[in-house]
């Protein structure tokens, strides 16, 4: 009597099936199932066996329940395993259900509802004094001149509250402030203080930590300059410590031009634009594949005055943010305005909502290998999604691999990606027999 032990571990569903001899010559079966539907295929001795998930099936003989490696204990009727990436030519045997099973061990079909990986996004928020200054920091937040104006920070807090609440289950958020709450309203380096580490590290379901960790909506005590480069750098350093297989991004929101360049002294500390910000953002995109989304708050398309007022001289902030959005790899699809420029809270909310939706992942990770990859089916909202060969030009799905022949997951492409973002899950059917 053969004894088989196999298991399949998925990122969002756990399925574990085992068949073994109970010591009396009779096989027993234990099944644990989460959010799955399983159809069993009988073995040649009338029992059922679980699905091979890495393509490797361990087999043994005897009634003690022990199992040995099939590669060293293969018998004349046992076939080669169907491990993805293996150079061994598999043999094919026929199971009683009429299907063929590569590896010689019939198994079960697995149907599971899987969610895409949750991306890591660091919110980098401008907490400079200009966000609450009276009257410069007040704006017509609701596009109604008959209602009182509120501070830009008040609007930003409300919009962040909406975004982290609405996407709490699908995006891992963190937040960093520039400058930090320790910054002073002085014409010296104390106005440029930024925490060495992000104030709120990226984590799953992080809504409450973020909303409690940043200044509240009605806070009018915000102080400091605009050390954008330092704020973005801290966020990037944090994102780089996280799982590199999980998509990451920076979402930058600012109402002014970057100053507070590292090593500079006043007046250049405040009166010169910090061009180094562009190098930091561009390197993050081209070298680390971490994009930066850029949002401006009521940014005017005009060149600033050449005077000692704490703002970079002779600088067009609108133009600089346009350039920064392109450097960050995620410009807005607009021939003239590449960053998201919000002139009121309504537009600010629409911008952050669009960015969050764009940042949602279309990658479904797999921790185990499918038995017959070419037979896999992907269904979203009752629509069969076709398997394609080029994710850049086709609508459907492709397998992604680690470059060594092992599949790491399924990626949805084009309109199928858009559909996954709307439905937030896909039904995936894995088969261990050729159809």
| Domain map (residue ranges) of the chain | 3-109, 120-359, 362-430
Q: What is the homologous superfamily of the domain 120-359 according to CATH?
A: von Willebrand factor, type A domain (3.40.50.410)
330 within 8 A of 292, measured Cβ to Cβ: yes
Neighbours of 287 (CB within 10 A): 8
pLDDT along the chain (435 residues), means of 10: 31 33 37 34 38 35 37 34 31 35 52 94 98 95 97 98 97 98 96 96 98 98 97 98 96 98 96 98 98 98 95 97 98 96 98 97 89 92 96 97 92 97 94 66
**What pLDDT shows up at residue 369?**
85
Question: Max alpha carbon distance in the chain (Å)?
Answer: 92
Q: Which stretches within 80-194 are classed as H helix?
A: 152-166
For the chain, how many residues are written? 435
Structural element, H or E, at residue 281: helix 276-288
Q: State residue 376 phi and psi, 5-degree precision.
A: -60, 140
**What pLDDT shows up at residue 144?**
97
**What pLDDT shows up at residue 367?**
79
Three-state secondary structure readout of 205-216: CCHHHHHHHCCC
Q: How far apart are CA 146 and CA 149, in angstroms?
A: 9
Q: How far apart are CA 161 and CA 205, in angstroms?
A: 13
**What pLDDT shows up at residue 151?**
98
Q: Kindly report the pTM of this predicted structure.
A: 0.75
Give the DSSP letter string of 36-56: EEEE--B-TTS-B-PPPSSS-
239 within 8 A of 197, measured Cβ to Cβ: no
- The residues facing 172 across adjacent strands are 120
């Amino acid at each position: 009597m053969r004894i088989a032990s196999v298991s399949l571990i998925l990122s969002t569903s756990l399925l574990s099936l085992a068949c073994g001899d109970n010591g009396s010559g009779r096989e027993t079966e234990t099944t644990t199932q989460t959010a799955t539907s399983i159809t069993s295929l009988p073995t040649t001795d009338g029992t059922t066996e679980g699905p091979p998930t890495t393509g490797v099936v361990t087999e043994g003989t005897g009634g003690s329940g022990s199992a040995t490696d099939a590669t060293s204990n293969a018998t004349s009727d046992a076939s080669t395993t169907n491990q993805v990436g293996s150079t061994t030519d598999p043999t094919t045997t026929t199971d009683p259900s009429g299907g063929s099973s590569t590896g010689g061990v019939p198994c079960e079909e697995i149907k599971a509802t899987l969610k895409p990986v949750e991306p890591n996004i660091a919110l980098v928020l401008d907490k400079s004094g200009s966000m609450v200054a009276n009257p410069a920091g007040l704006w017509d937040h609701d596009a109604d001149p008959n209602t009182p104006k509120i501070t830009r920070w008040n609007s930003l807090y409300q919009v962040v509250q909406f975004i982290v609440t609405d996407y709490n289950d699908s995006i891992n958020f963190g937040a960093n402030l520039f400058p930090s709450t320790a910054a002073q309203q002085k014409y010296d380096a104390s106005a440029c203080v930024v925490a060495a580490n992000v104030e709120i590290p990226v984590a799953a379901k992080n809504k409450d930590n973020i909303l409690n960790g940043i200044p509240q909506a009605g806070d009018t005590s915000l102080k400091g300059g605009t050390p954008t480069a330092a704020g973005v750098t801290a966020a990037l350093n944090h994102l780089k410590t996280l799982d590199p297989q999980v998509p990451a991004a920076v979402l930058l929101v600012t109402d002014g031009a970057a100053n507070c360049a590292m090593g500079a002294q006043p007046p250049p500390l405040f009166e010169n634009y910090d061009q180094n910000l562009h190098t930091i953002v561009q390197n993050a995109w081209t070298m680390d594949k971490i994009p930066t989304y850029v949002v401006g708050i009521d940014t005017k398309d005009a060149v600033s005055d050449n005077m000692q007022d704490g703002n970079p001289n002779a600088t067009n902030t609108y133009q600089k943010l346009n350039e920064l959005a392109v450097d960050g790899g995620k410009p807005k699809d607009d021939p003239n305005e590449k960053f998201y420029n919000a002139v009121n809270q309504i537009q600010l909310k629409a911008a952050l909502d669009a960015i969050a939706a764009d940042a949602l992942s279309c990658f479904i990770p797999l921790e185990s290998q499918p038995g017959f990859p070419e037979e896999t089916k992907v269904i979203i909202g009752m629509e069969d999604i076709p398997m394609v060969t080029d994710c850049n030009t086709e609508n459907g799905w492709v397998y992604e691999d680690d470059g060594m022949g092992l599949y790491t997951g399924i990626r949805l492409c084009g309109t199928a990606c858009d559909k996954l973002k709307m439905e937030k899950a896909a039904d995936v059917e894995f088969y261990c027999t050729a159809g």
